[in-house]
Amino acid sequence: MSIKLLEVKNLTTEFKTDKKSLTAVKNVSFYVNQGEVVGLVGESGSGKSVTSLSVLRLLPENGYISEGEVLLSQNNILNLDQKSIRNIRGSEIAMIFQDPMSSLNPVIKVGEQLMECTMLHLKHTKKEAKAHAIEMIKQVGISAPEDVFNRYPHQLSGGMSQRIMIAMALSCNPKVLIADEPTTALDVTIQAQVLDLITEMKEQSNIGVLLITHDLGVVAEMCDRVIVMYCGRIVESAEVSCLFENPLHPYTQGLIASVPKIGSGSDILPYIKGRVPDLSQMPIGCKFAPRCDGAIEKCFIEEPLLIQLDNQRQCRCHLVSERGERNA
Amino acid sequence: MRETLVELKNVRKQFLASKKFMEEKKYVKAINGVSFEIYKGETLAIVGESGCGKSTTGRAINKLIDIDEGEVWFDHENITNYSSHMMKPVRSKMQMVFQDPYGSLNPRMKIRDIVSEPLLVHTNLSKKERYQKAKELLEIVGLNEGHLRRYAHEFSGGQRQRIGIARALTVNPKLIIADEPVSALDVSIQAQVINLFKELQREFHLTYLFISHDLSVVEHISDRIGVMYLGHLVEITAKEQLYKNPLHPYTQALLSAIPIADPAKKKKRIILKGDIPNPIDLPVGCPFNTRCMHVQDKCYKIVPQLQEAASGHKVACHLI
Amino acid sequence: MRGYIVKRLLNMIPIMFVVSIVIFLFIHMIPGDPARLLAGHQATFEEVELLKEQMGLNNSYIVQYKDFMVGMLTGNWGNSLKTGLPVGDMVIPRMKPTLILAIFTIVWSVISGIAIGIISAINRGKWIDYVVMIGASSGISLPLFWLGLMLMQIFSVQLGWFPTTGIDGLKSYVLPSITLGAGITAMIARYTRSSMIEILKENYIRTSRAKGLSEFIVVNRHALRNSLIDVITIVGLQFGFLLAGSVLVETVFAIPGLGRLLIDSILFRDYTVVQTVLLIFTFQFLIINLIVDVLYGVFNPKIKYE
Amino acid sequence: MKVNTEIKKKQEDYKFESPMIELSRKFLKKKVATVSFFFILFLIILAIFQPTPYDISQTDYSNTLSKPSAEHWFGTDEYGRDIFSRIVYGTKLSLTVAIVGVTVGAVIGSILGLIAGYYRGIPEMIIMRTCDVLLAFPGLLLAIGIVAIIGPGLINVVIAIAIYGIPNFTRIIRSSTLAIKELLYVEASQSIGVSDLRLLFKHIFPGTVPALIVSYTMRLGTAIITAASLSFLGFGASPSNPDWGAMLSSGRNYIGIAPHMLFYPGLAIFLTVLGFNLLGDGLRDTLDPKLD
Amino acid sequence: DQIALDQSNEPVANSQSSEGNDKSMVIAVNAEIISLDPHNISDTLSRSATNTMYESLLEHNNSMELEECLAERYEISEDGLEYTFYIRQGIEFHDGTALNAEAVKYNFDRVTDEEKNLRRRRNFLQVESTEVIDEYVLKIYLKAPFAPMLDRVASLSIISPKALEEYGDRGIITNPVGTGPYVYKEWVTGDRLVVIKNQNYWRSGPQIETLTIKPILENGARIAMLQTGEADFIYPMPTEQVNIVANDANIEVIEGMSTIARFTFINTSKDFYSDVRVRQAMNYAIDKEAYTNVVRSGYSTPLSSHVPASIKYHVPQPLYEYNLEKAKQLMAEAGYPDGFKTHIWAPNDTENMRGMEFVSQQLAQIGIEAEVIPMEEGTLSNSIYSAQTPEESTVHMWYVSWSAFDFDGATNSLFHSRNIPPTAPNVSYYRNPVADELIDLGSTEVNSIKRAGIYSELQEIIWEDAPWLFLGSDVLLSAKRTTTEGISVGPGGAINSREASTSK
Ligand SMILES: Nc1ncnc2c1ncn2[C@@H]1O[C@H](COP(=O)(O)OP(=O)(O)OP(=O)(O)O)[C@@H](O)[C@H]1O
Ligand SMILES: Nc1ncnc2c1ncn2[C@@H]1O[C@H](COP(=O)(O)OP(=O)(O)OP(=O)(O)O)[C@@H](O)[C@H]1O
Ligand SMILES: [Mg+2]
Ligand SMILES: [Mg+2]
């Protein structure tokens, strides 16, 4: 069962800007097993998307990976040449993006966009590709697939486009699916449909899913394991139930607490004060220290390490590690 | 009965869908016969999926759009046919806060000018007095004097939303129409802004029309909730009532679809089939008939009217 | 689609009508007397007066305009005041060189403009981008007639590759077309470049890369089609430039085209010819706008002509 | 928590740059555009201070058409006048013609464009159809017509260039007005009760400025070329005003025997127009937030 | 599409000459042909064009002397009222119609028809009637003696009456049928006129098969065509560029005298110009040598009377030598020691603008600040002729050139007081009763010796009165490939290609 499909080790990604080089992702390590949904959560700007784009080497022009490995079935794909990496994209790792409407080419029929992938990777002929595309459209739960095949993206609703994106991602039977906020642009009822579909697909083909979101509700419902990021670093990772039951990192705690809960009855919502620091203005020491109520002097001086607590659990906090050490 | 501040009577609005290349004009039916009241001092929330006409409803109250049919009453005045000139004093009594804190502030103006602009329009205060007032307001929403001379782009989303709120407060309005004021914000900031809304309401006795698509947020802030679907108000009632006893099948699906941030509480979700129809060609009969699991023949023929199902609980469904 | 085109064509009628009035007023506002110009300085007053009468210039503007419109509508365009030839005989043979020049020019400059734009967009910020774009910008920065004279000196007089002037065969259109197209190429290159740069940042480009498509396909299949939509509108506008530029090019290279005819006729106050040519230009402009809009719809699936 | 608050304070005090400074920094990074900018600046200084070594109308019939030399850097013309001095002087004329003409066109065009974009309906129809008619006339012919109607002369060339520019500016400003009108901050101001006039000039117009600036600089280049083309066709200003177009136009007769008469004014036009175009390009890249 | 002739009448010879033996020739000119109806043209180029196909009873040779052409001989009655022409026999028009007195009369009747108001009518206002005496003898009766009559007869091309009947007054424009050395092939307006050799020509004709006349307005392009061999002959050869082709062994520049005078009208009805001293001062202020060099690149001779030396009865006057002292002194005497402000007009082509600017520079030396105003022809003529009275006139000075082929043509409309605008171009508003009388006398005096006397006196008076700035008379420049022979340009600027031949 637990075959590591994708493993990221010590990934550090930087951006060249006019002033200096900014580190958007620092020393991130995680893995995705077969048949598993791993959630990646964090506030806006915490480096979730950069992490996923680094995996596929689709960073914007000014971004580069300065360190680390991305192992896909034990091969480091960071060492591949352009051609080989292109062979992997779409066929081994597929990706779904946040905004389905803008992620489809507006001037090409959706069917053709679907066909491209299989013609390239599975060497389908036009006819085969078309049949396959229609089959995929059907699979993602769209009735009248032939009709949809011939439509342009603007003729689809948001939910339909996202389903097309999923069909496209899955059409070459990838091993890993990276979904970067796949439902943020959608409504709750449609979101429910799409998440349902992803779960279904995962179960059917036993793929590994890296689900990026900032919605803790989605994480709670979908994921097996969760990784929490803050300022480009992993601050905590755990099995989903552990994390929600017993969040260790003050950031995780704050995050979970500030989600409004139906029926909680409380009048004032707890919240995390302050704001995510700008990449160019990173505090020394723990990046969360300025917003942390429990911060001690050490937190402002020295950056804590990510401590392995038990086999599924990691946390990056002086308070926790001290407590842990004391406990140990 | 409580005093009514705003009343919408059977309001309709449609937009020309695309103009340039049309032979036959097509219209987006944004709101189709919406009626409700907002009472003084309460928070009425409007929820619904994207494109269902929430913002259009908000705009109709502020007369940012001219409605096609129906009436809008504000503070016992029928403002339906007011010109923009006549709206000026009315607008000082109702202000808006917008969803997109990035887009709703003029990027070319300093914060103090943005915040004090309503004063420039509605009062004869001197520049100095206006800036003084702006400063006070910024302090109320948790920003400080040092921010006055900056431009909007120098602020984070949460801060910008505070600026927007400060601007809305400058002329002591009675009503604030908040059009998805927190949906663009991260959860941690969202919580702060929601708290601010509640605080201000208490302090200034404000009435809110709070538009949102997030039922968990709405639950925290509202007194009553109206649910919209495809330009129709399908259910409206007190908050507790809605969460306890949703009557409309759409409300039920909506409530069940909210992901709960607690893996322990895995519940049964109602997964609707199909997509929201295009508001250009609405389905005949009940607007929800394409996705409803209890659909009956009648639903394909007659548009259900909003009816009182229980005291203060109105719903538009043939099944009830 | 057909309905749309018919409708647009019908819409042109009132526009052309208004334009005809504007044109009529415009040319009659220019001071000068065709009778005097035709008769020359040696002519006597009586001769000129008589000539005026014969040309119908003593009629009121309303009558003159009416004659002009009736003539236009009945296909009798009248005679040139200058040569006495039927206007049709003067204008129609002149359309061919102008059209050939325009089409020749637009074709090569659109192709090269787009190619240059793409090259420079995908190499954005590199030296090749600078070189190509400065080169392209030079195209707009040269006065046309100057460029024309220089090209003629080099390629006709010095190297003898092309005829200096005239319209004998396609070869003689090469230099005029280069002269005329340099600016257009530059414009199109610039628009293509900036549109490409924007499009290459779009999400769907990232999607197509995530599919594993090669950069070549990404650019030429996914990005180009989208940027063409932007570029088409520019191409349409360039036709105006083309017609104006053709006046200069036709002068330098002695091409008997409409532009040159128009200038000569304006100089001579040859009202009948000026009116006709200007109406033709306007009509062309409207037709080209229509073609551009239709093409725009062909390339842009979001637009449906129902 | 002393440390905590201190660090927090530091973060709050982070100096933000004003938009102007940020834009200039962004602009100065574009080398080509910066060079163009300084070149244009240099031309403007030339135009103002007129460092002409010779009187521009001082003739010397014994030294006509002489080649460039230490004495006359760019040679002399058919009357023996110093071409360098005339080009320097011509900077003033050519830039003035272009700047005044384009500015007038831009002002009128912008106002019309704002009105058309903001009010829609009948005003829009009238304005835009008029623009269509103006645009349907090839620009140069329009200019010729105008000069023919009002007679030759520098001012009339300016007027022609202005009229020629109006429909273009109207179109650009209208389309950006239409876009900006839909922006949320405009609606926000509207919801406050801001008057139409204030909305138009305080909120909408500043938003159109980037588009305006870009097409303004580009048009300056076009205007110089148009003025030169008018001279070429004999519709230019008087030949004793040494604007570059007139110099080029009279110089072309000497193409074989005194190429410098054609070369230097041509070069001046070329560099200036190129400068304006590259500057416009750079400004567009700077001012367009989408291009970063 | 514009081929005019019946196929049957087209010469059978291989007009489409074979590749190697290319007996065709191209002449590039600087203006467009306006019309091919020789009776209804007033510009020199159209005359050059029609002259390839049409001939007159008499013709001017290149030294401006009259020679018989279609007329064998002629007689003039004592009183100068009757002209008898004996028409050459055996000549046919291109369409086969025979040339006879009837045909010539038809032409005279056409051109003098007031209804038709053709351009050439102005030359024949003195004609009372014409009469066919005999098949080949025609008599013309005049209203009054008219000295330049023979010159005018030489300007009347004879058109085939049959063609005129057939095509009408408009149709004849594109269907020219004459007796000349070439036959019409096609005319593409704005592009070219193509004529082919007349195989049945009555005298020695061209040695080429086709002749093409092309308007190439841009000077540079015209020369380029000559350089590349695309043109065999160009006219005019721009004076500024003679040096370029001087070293080209394939090109020869031809100089010739002209009837073109270049001068500047001074509007004597304007205050400061009413004083003859001012006008003389202005003439003294002009450096004629510099004018020749700067404006005409050396290809000009100083104008020594109001008519160029090539015109009969010209008598050279003592030149206003370049003398600034004298000029300033005259200005002071006239009460303008510091000069005054004025303006000068000229057509807006580069050559005229150059001349006008030169004049302005020269006048500046004596304090006259003349603003130069180029105007395109339409505006210019409008500005001149729209003034109904001298007071209304806005012209101060007009830099212009004038070409006429007889003395009267170069004098009458320019100096007679009845010819002030709007009637005719006496733009100097020159009114001198003595001059008026001499002009009238001269035009009716048939005796050429008496006429010479009258004109000599007239020239002195005009010269003394200086209603003009007398500048120069052009040296006509044309250029040809060395392979080209037999094409010449007459002093009036008309191209004669009757004997064209090529060794290409
Ligand atoms: N091209 C770039 N140049 C410079 N900085 C960048 C670039 N792209 C991203 N960043 C920075 O990298 C950081 C991480 O961005 P990322 O997009 O991964 O955030 P995210 O967690 O996906 O946020 P969101 O929830 O908003 O999508 C941010 O601070 C962002 O500003
Ligand atoms: N100005 C307009 N022109 C044309 N259609 C419009 C316009 N404004 C709104 N609409 C359409 O009217 C419908 C209702 O829009 P509205 O903005 O009220 O929805 P909403 O509920 O606020 O959606 P969201 O949650 O996305 O803000 C939508 O289909 C929208 O596309
Ligand atoms: Mg992201
Ligand atoms: Mg909305």
Complex-level ipTM: 0.81
Confidence of residue C244 (pLDDT cuts 50, 70, 90): low
Distance A102 CA to ligand 2 centre (A): 18
Per-residue model confidence (pLDDT) at position C113: 92
Pick A99's closest partner by Cβ from C203, C225, C301. C203
What residues does ligand 2 touch, defined as CB less than 6 Å away? B 15, 28, 30, 48, 50-56, 213, 279
Per-residue model confidence (pLDDT) at position D42: 93
The answer on A69 and A117 residing in a single domain is no
Indicate the SS3 state at residue E211.
strand
The one-digit pLDDT tens for each residue of chain E (504 residues) are: 333 333 333 333 333 433 445 689 999 999 889 899 999 988 889 999 999 999 999 998 877 788 999 999 999 998 889 999 999 999 999 999 999 999 999 999 999 998 888 888 988 988 999 999 999 999 999 999 888 899 889 989 999 999 999 999 889 999 999 999 999 999 988 889 999 999 989 988 899 999 999 999 888 889 989 988 899 999 999 988 888 888 889 999 999 988 899 999 999 998 889 999 999 999 999 999 999 999 998 999 999 999 999 888 999 999 999 999 999 999 999 999 999 999 999 988 888 888 999 999 999 999 999 999 888 888 888 888 888 888 889 999 999 988 887 898 889 889 999 999 888 889 999 999 999 999 999 988 888 899 999 999 999 999 999 999 999 999 999 999 999 999 999 888 889 999 899 987
* Mutant choice from A286, A297, A302 vs D, greatest count of D C-beta within 10 A: A297
Whether the CB of D187 is below 8 Å from some CB of chain C: the reply is: no
**Dihedral class, residue A27 (left if φ above 0, else alpha if ψ from -120 to 50, else beta):** left
CA-nearest of A71, B19, D255, A314 to C158 is D255
pLDDT tens figures, D112-166 = 999 998 887 788 888 887 887 777 776 777 777 787 777 777 888 898 889 888 9
Alpha carbon separation from C235 to C173, C195, C230, C303, D209 (Å, rounded): 20, 14, 9, 19, 25
Q: Which residues of chain A have pLDDT under 70?
A: 1, 19, 264-266, 324-328
Q: Whose C-alpha lies nearest to ligand 1, atom 26?
A: A44
Residues of chain D found within 8 Å of residue E294, distances taken between Cβ atoms = 61, 64, 78-79
The answer on C228 and C148 residing in a single domain is yes
E378/C33 touch (CB, cutoff 8 Å), yes or no? yes
C270: tokens are 């040859």
Rounded CA gap, D176 and D187, in Å?
16
> Closest approach of chain D CAs to the CA of B213, in angstroms?
19
Rounded CA gap, E350 and D250, in Å?
6
The answer on C211 and C68 residing in a single domain is no
Report the CATH number of the B4-93+173-258+267-315 domain.
3.40.50.300
Average pLDDT over residues C94-111: 89
The answer on C34 and C116 residing in a single domain is no
The answer on A139 and A9 residing in a single domain is no
D166: tokens are 């109006």
Report the CATH number of the D79-291 domain.
1.10.3720.10
pLDDT at B95 over 70: yes
Q: Would residue C182 count as lying in a domain?
A: yes
Distance A231 CA to ligand 1 centre (A): 10
Q: Whose C-alpha lies nearest to ligand 1, atom 2?
A: A15
Amino acid residing at E163 = A
Q: Is E76 exposed, middle or buried (0-12, 13-18, 19+ CB in 10 A)?
A: middle
Rounded CA gap, C202 and C189, in Å?
20
Distance B180 CA to ligand 4 centre (A): 7
CA D128 to chain centre: 23
Domain of C268 in residue numbering reads as: 95-299
Q: What is the CATH number of the domain that holds A222?
A: 3.40.50.300
Alpha carbon separation from B115 to C143, D12, D58 (Å, rounded): 51, 20, 63
Distance B30 CA to ligand 2 centre (A): 6
Whether the CB of C225 is below 8 Å from some CB of chain A: the reply is: yes
The answer on C59 and C188 residing in a single domain is no
Q: Whose C-alpha lies nearest to ligand 1, atom 24?
A: A44
Distance B13 CA to ligand 4 centre (A): 15
**Is the Cβ–Cβ distance between D15 and D260 less than 8 Å?**
no
Consecutive H or E run containing E55: none
Q: Which of C24, C44, C74 is the last residue of a domain?
A: C74
pLDDT tens figures, B13-25 = 988 775 444 446 6
Percent of chain C residues past pLDDT 70, beyond the cut: 97
Q: DSSP letters of A10-79?
A: EEEEEEE-SS-EEEEEEEEEEEEETT-EEEEE-STTSSHHHHHHHHHT---TTEEEEEEEEEETTEEGGG
**Which DSSP letter does residue C104 get?**
H
Whether the CB of D5 is below 8 Å from some CB of chain A: the reply is: no
E314: tokens are 């010209």
Three-point CA angle C267, D269, E240, nearest 5°: 60
Domain ranges of chain B: 4-93+173-258+267-315
Alpha carbon separation from E285 to E289, E297, E299, E326 (Å, rounded): 12, 20, 21, 8
Alpha carbon separation from E447 to D29, E84, E450 (Å, rounded): 89, 17, 6
Indicate the SS3 state at residue E233.
strand
Handedness of CA E96, E99, E102, E103 (dihedral sign): positive
Q: Which of A152, A173, A194 is the last residue of a domain?
A: A173
Indicate the SS3 state at residue D195.
coil
CA-nearest of A53, A114, A91, A69 to A175 is A91
pLDDT at D11 over 50: no
The answer on A195 and A152 residing in a single domain is no
**E-B interface (Cβ pairs under 8 Å ≥ 3):** no
Rounded CA gap, A224 and A202, in Å?
12
C30/E378 touch (CB, cutoff 8 Å), yes or no? yes
Rounded CA gap, A304 and B26, in Å?
61
Distance B55 CA to ligand 2 centre (A): 7
What residues does ligand 1 touch, defined as CB less than 6 Å away? A 15, 17, 22, 24, 42, 44-50, 60, 62-63, 214, 279
Whether the CB of B275 is below 8 Å from some CB of chain A: the reply is: yes
Q: Would residue C249 count as lying in a domain?
A: yes
The answer on A157 and A179 residing in a single domain is no
Domain of A123 in residue numbering reads as: 106-173
- Chains with at least 3 CB pairs less than 8 angstroms from chain B: A, C, D
Per-residue model confidence (pLDDT) at position D4: 40
**Is the Cβ–Cβ distance between E467 and E168 less than 8 Å?**
no
B64/D190 touch (CB, cutoff 8 Å), yes or no? yes
- Chains with at least 3 CB pairs less than 8 angstroms from chain C: A, B, D, E
The answer on C186 and C54 residing in a single domain is no
D208: tokens are 């159109």
Domain ranges of chain D: 79-291
Average pLDDT over residues B292-306: 89
Strand partners, B212: B47
The pTM of this model reads: 0.83
Three-point CA angle A32, A34, A36, nearest 5°: 65
**A-E interface (Cβ pairs under 8 Å ≥ 3):** no
Rounded CA gap, A93 and A8, in Å?
13
Rounded CA gap, A122 and B109, in Å?
55
Q: Which ligand 1 atom is at minimum distance from the Cα of A214?
A: 25
Q: Whose C-alpha lies nearest to ligand 2, atom 30?
A: B51
**C-E interface (Cβ pairs under 8 Å ≥ 3):** yes
The answer on A267 and A232 residing in a single domain is yes
pLDDT tens figures, C7-60 = 878 878 888 888 888 888 888 888 888 888 888 887 888 888 888 888 888 888
Per-residue model confidence (pLDDT) at position B18: 58
Whether the CB of D240 is below 8 Å from some CB of chain E: the reply is: yes
The answer on A201 and A152 residing in a single domain is no
CA-nearest of A203, A188, A96 to A139 is A203
Q: Would residue C85 count as lying in a domain?
A: no
**Is the Cβ–Cβ distance between B54 and B179 less than 8 Å?**
yes
**Is the Cβ–Cβ distance between E38 and E157 less than 8 Å?**
yes
Strand partners, E402: E261
pLDDT tens figures, A206-236 = 899 999 998 888 898 889 999 999 989 999 9
Q: At what angle do helices D260-287 and D83-119 cross, to 10 degrees?
A: 30
pLDDT tens figures, D206-251 = 888 888 888 898 888 889 888 888 888 778 777 777 888 888 888 8
Using most ligand atoms within 8 A of CB, pick from A22, A50, A98 the residue to mutate for ligand 1.
A50
Residues in chain A whose beta carbon is closer than 8 A to a beta carbon of chain D? 18, 274, 277-278, 281, 283, 289-290, 295, 297, 300
Per-residue model confidence (pLDDT) at position C179: 92
Return the number of CB contacts < 8 Å for A and D: 22
D24: tokens are 């200039």
Three-point CA angle D111, D113, D118, nearest 5°: 100
Q: Which of A126, A145, A173 is the last residue of a domain?
A: A173
Per-residue model confidence (pLDDT) at position A325: 54
Whether the CB of D182 is below 8 Å from some CB of chain B: the reply is: no
Q: Which residue has the tokens 């000139």?
A: B85
The DSSP bridge pattern shows strands E488-489 and E397-403 to be unpaired
Q: Which ligand 2 atom is at minimum distance from the Cα of B48?
A: 21
The answer on C260 and C175 residing in a single domain is yes
Residues of chain C found within 8 Å of residue B21, distances taken between Cβ atoms = 4, 297, 303-306
Q: Would residue C189 count as lying in a domain?
A: yes
Q: Which of C39, C74, C109 is the last residue of a domain?
A: C74
The edge-to-edge listing of strands for the beta sheet with A225-230 is: A93-96, A176-180, A208-212, A37-41, A225-230, A233-239, A313-315, A307-310
Please count the structural domains in chain A.
2
The answer on A245 and A215 residing in a single domain is yes
Residues of chain A found within 8 Å of residue C204, distances taken between Cβ atoms = 102-106
Rounded CA gap, E111 and E102, in Å?
14
Residues of chain D found within 8 Å of residue B122, distances taken between Cβ atoms = 193
CA E53 to chain centre: 19
Q: Would residue A209 count as lying in a domain?
A: yes
Rounded CA gap, B20 and B12, in Å?
24
Distance A183 CA to ligand 1 centre (A): 18
Indicate the SS3 state at residue E320.
coil
Whether the CB of B182 is below 8 Å from some CB of chain A: the reply is: no
Whether the CB of B264 is below 8 Å from some CB of chain A: the reply is: yes
D4/A290 touch (CB, cutoff 8 Å), yes or no? yes
Indicate the SS3 state at residue E345.
strand
A281/D14 touch (CB, cutoff 8 Å), yes or no? yes
Rounded CA gap, D90 and D84, in Å?
10
Please count the structural domains in chain C.
2
pLDDT tens figures, D55-83 = 888 888 888 888 888 888 898 888 888 99
**Is the Cβ–Cβ distance between A247 and A236 less than 8 Å?**
yes
Per-residue model confidence (pLDDT) at position E467: 94
Distance B185 CA to ligand 4 centre (A): 15
Q: Is the peptide bond before E422 cis (omega within 30 degrees of 0)?
A: yes
Per-residue model confidence (pLDDT) at position E1: 33
**Which DSSP letter does residue B64 get?**
S
SS (H, E, C) E254-285: EEEEEEEEEEEEECCCCHHHHCHHHHHHHHHC
